[in-house]
Structure 1
Amino acid sequence: MTEIKTLNTYSLWQLTLYFLRLGTLGFGGPVALVGFMHRDLVEERSWISEADYKEGLALAQIAPGPLAAQLAIYLGYVHHRILGATVAGLAFVLPSFVMVVALGMAYVSYGGLPWMQAVFYGVGAAVLGIMAIGAHKLSTKSIGKDKLLWSIFGVLAAVTIITQSEIAWLFIAAGLLVWVIRCKPSFGNKAMGLGLVPPVDAAQLAPVVLDPALLTQIGLFFAKAGAFVFGSGLAIVPFLYSGTVTEHHWLTDRQFVDAVAVAMITPGPVVITTAFIGYLIAGLPGATMAAVATFLPCYLITIVAAPHFKKWGKNPSVIAFVDGITAAAIGAIAGSVVVIAQRSISDIPTALLAVGATALLWKFKKIPEPLLVIGAALIGLVIYPLVSH
């Protein structure tokens, strides 16, 4: 008798190891990370169905908070519910948190990291290649040949490039548009709903030591960042700058730029830069508070909304709505590649690095991304001193 392969063929321990590995070796920001999850969990391992993945990506775009972390939490929930969501989220974030805190300790101890800009010079350009290939794979897999979805993709990509931000209501509008066109609903009936809860004040959850008032202030600020910024690191960076540099004067411009560089040269979610910023403000307690406050709202929102997505996920109206949001999300992701390229490509060497990284990943599909990042960092260390004078 031939054994029928089902999707739920993995243990919680296997899921934990996967997200620990992704959090340790996953470079490229949210665009690349959500692409890796699709490649690894949907295509190669068949742990997650295409429908579950698309539902998770849609929820991650509708709800506020860091995109890749929300998707990881949702995928953990699919077969292992709240325990799986909790373990997946912690395993995904913990490795980069440890790395960022270690870099923060070195930064404070040695008065800055002069080599960091050289590394960022190379890595920032190469990461564009990882992001571009990730966006391409997502679009071909999730959109296919649907002209309506490609139109939405194009509009959201253009809007993201022009405004240099992600406009949350456009994702929902895209979902509603596809729903109306495909399903021709009767508006007298309630077709769908999402159960979301307001964010919880994370300031009371981390150990309050040193200066309780400062730690509470850090918790409130980063909880707001996690609760009200949609999409990805692309959206949270200007919010963090206005709060940490302009409003609270916790960091200098130079320190903030270095914090963004740390986020790009470390694996895992880009938003983990909040832990580095928290460390510069108030040491390890500050780093812990900032990280918890940033990720807790999206965790709570995801586990509360996930049952509704699971319950209504097979409804044609929901499928149409999710397809529209998914196309919009991928369009915004593709647009963000262009926006980040405008900031990362500053001269001919960085342009060549970005094009070279893209070509390598296109030609050699199995090349390990961490190897590419290390190579780009070494090139940056060699070239940056030559072009910066």
Structure 2
Amino acid sequence: MDANTPPTGTQSTSPVYTLWQLVLLMLKLGTIGFGGPVALVGYMHRDLVEQRGWISEADYKEGMALAQLAPGPLAAQVSIYLGYVHYRILGATLAGIAFVMPSFLMVLGIGWAYVRFGGLPWMQAVFYGVGAAVIGIIAMSAKKLTEKSIGKDKLLWAIYLLLAGVTIATESEIAWLFIAAGILVWFWRHPPKVFKNGNGLSALLALPIAPLVNMASSETLIQIALFFTKAGAFVFGSGLAIVPFLYGGVVHEHQWLTEKQFVDAVAVAMITPGPVVITVGFIGYLIAGVKGAVVAALGTFLPCYLFTVIPAPYMKKYGKLPAIIAFVDGVTAAAVGAITGSVVVLAQRSIVDIPTIALALVTAGLLWKFKKLQEPVIIATAALIGLAVYPVLHR
């Protein structure tokens, strides 16, 4: 081991990079980082651990473990944790903002164009193609998550199938079932003794979520703040897990958006870099303009931020406890089941004719055949197909 390398599992007291260097790198990743959460955290490992040596392998693995353990979009949480490693709260805050801000500004611009030009045929044509392709992308994401997360565990499969069925039947996500699934697996694998000792799980579940109500200036903004804060607290495993939850609340409960607008919002998240969860900014803009976008984004990412910086100092002490691992497995199975169910729910709105069926199937086939194919390439192609086909079918 090099004399200048900190021992494994420890943090260097003298970082070899400045906070602003880290912020600029996160800004870059947030601007050009396509490929979804797994790709984004891979870029962070490549740039920060392998190429620059700013973050140790041990610190990176701890950040990944915490992101998998707590609710919140994976890539955003890892960026926040890596900022925390050497620069604590200030570093976590600035790194997280730098990573999320570029995609937020992009969806804000797209939201403006959508509202201003949404009635024009070209805009409708683009989302006609993109909406169908998104179904294929989510279907393949659900497949990969299922293979990776569920394995051969019969209890996890039961939870997975139950949540998929509930999501399809209710066309929404029942958030408390996530927690119930985690507790069930926890009790099944490590019953009474673990419960009596606590082992830190109760502290995890009791983490505070700061209210955003004071930021609101109207009843609608208050509702947006409360709903999206709740949504942000239950995004386990992947940013796509928030899709069925948002669908139930935004389309059915509050009726802020139509079904078509919601599918378009998911599509917007797919064509922009950064976290998929940034779709909340687009949704917020459609509901209440710039204020709605800001409140929705803050409401979603504040729980993610808190679930990272609050338990960060205790990660090494509690992260590998069997009770915590069991809880995460249960929640993940529930989240992946909900994602799978949401594919069926959203497909009913986007798959409307033979061309859209073909687009969804071809998208899924391409992603299955070519593992490294980037989603933005598919989305751009689908948009061009929509521009060509939609006017012919809707003359």
Whether TM-score is above 0.5 comes out as: yes
Aligned pair 1:119/2:119, yes or no?
no
Q: CA deviation at 1:366?
A: 1.3
Name stretches of at least 5 consecutive residues in structure 2 with no aligned partner: 51-56, 236-241
SS in 1 for 2:343: helix
Q: CA deviation at 1:173?
A: 1.9
Give the whole-Å Cα distance in 1 for the aligned partners of 2:286 and 2:191: 54
Q: CA deviation at 1:197?
A: 0.9
Q: CA deviation at 1:355?
A: 0.8
Say which is worse superposed, 95-104 or 234-243, in terms of deviation: 234-243
* Counterpart position of 1:320: 326
Aligned pair 1:164/2:166, yes or no?
no
Which residue of 181, 197, 207 corresponds with 2:208?
197
Say which is worse superposed, 18-27 or 335-344, in terms of deviation: 18-27
Which residue of 220, 223, 226 corresponds with 1:221?
223
The amino acid that maps onto 2:224 is F
Q: CA deviation at 1:263?
A: 4.9
Give the whole-Å Cα distance in 2 for the aligned partners of 1:2 and 1:116: 57
Q: CA deviation at 1:270?
A: 5.3
TM-aligned CA distance change 1:385 to 1:277, over 3 Å: same
* Counterpart position of 1:59: 70
Q: Is contact 1:74–1:306 with CA below 8 Å preserved after alignment?
A: no
Give the whole-Å Cα distance in 1 for the aligned partners of 2:259 and 2:188: 48
TM-aligned CA distance change 1:264 to 1:387, over 3 Å: farther
**1:243-282 equivalence runs, <5 A:** 262-263=268-269, 265-269=271-275, 272-276=278-282, 279=285
Give the whole-Å Cα distance in 2 for the aligned partners of 1:19 and 1:315: 34
Q: Is contact 1:154–1:331 with CA below 8 Å preserved after alignment?
A: yes
SS in 2 for 1:144: coil
**1:367-382 equivalence runs, <5 A:** 367-382=373-388
Q: Is contact 1:178–1:324 with CA below 8 Å preserved after alignment?
A: yes
* Counterpart position of 1:386: 392
Listed one character per residue, the Cα deviations across residues 263-292 of structure 1 (whole Å, up to 9, x for unaligned) are: 565444555455446556776555445533
Q: CA deviation at 1:183?
A: 2.0
Give the whole-Å Cα distance in 2 for the aligned partners of 1:263 and 1:100: 8
TM-aligned CA distance change 1:341 to 1:278, over 3 Å: closer
**1:126-205 equivalence runs, <5 A:** 126-186=133-193, 187-191=195-199, 192-193=201-202, 194=204, 195-201=206-212, 203-204=214-215
TM-aligned CA distance change 1:136 to 1:283, over 3 Å: closer
Q: CA deviation at 1:71?
A: 4.2
Q: CA deviation at 1:52?
A: 5.3
* Counterpart position of 1:210: none
* Counterpart position of 1:239: 249
**1:293-332 equivalence runs, <5 A:** 293-307=299-313, 310-332=316-338
Q: CA deviation at 1:148?
A: 2.7
Name stretches of at least 5 consecutive residues in structure 1 with no aligned partner: 28-32, 61-65, 205-213
Provide TM-score, normalisation by structure 2.
0.74
Q: Is contact 2:103–2:273 with CA below 8 Å preserved after alignment?
A: yes
Q: CA deviation at 1:350?
A: 0.9
Which residue of 357, 382, 385 corresponds with 2:363?
357
The amino acid that maps onto 1:176 is I
The amino acid that maps onto 2:153 is D
Give the whole-Å Cα distance in 2 for the aligned partners of 1:169 and 1:6: 38
Give the whole-Å Cα distance in 2 for the aligned partners of 1:329 and 1:282: 29
The amino acid that maps onto 1:97 is F
* Counterpart position of 2:239: none
Give the whole-Å Cα distance in 1 for the aligned partners of 2:146 and 2:263: 31
Listed one character per residue, the Cα deviations across residues 321-357 of structure 1 (whole Å, up to 9, x for unaligned) are: 2122122222222222222222221111111111101
Give the whole-Å Cα distance in 2 for the aligned partners of 1:135 and 1:72: 21
How many pairs were matched up?
Answer: 366
Q: CA deviation at 1:126?
A: 1.2
* Counterpart position of 2:96: 89
Q: CA deviation at 1:145?
A: 2.9
The amino acid that maps onto 1:21 is L
The amino acid that maps onto 2:131 is G
The amino acid that maps onto 2:143 is H
TM-aligned CA distance change 1:254 to 1:236, over 3 Å: closer
Provide TM-score, normalisation by structure 1.
0.75
Q: CA deviation at 1:129?
A: 2.3
The amino acid that maps onto 2:246 is I
Give the whole-Å Cα distance in 2 for the aligned partners of 1:114 and 1:220: 34
* Counterpart position of 1:30: none
> RMSD of aligned C-alpha atoms?
4.0
Q: Is contact 2:81–2:309 with CA below 8 Å preserved after alignment?
A: no
Q: CA deviation at 1:112?
A: 4.6
**1:99-110 equivalence runs, <5 A:** 99-107=106-114
SS in 2 for 1:90: helix
* Counterpart position of 2:238: none
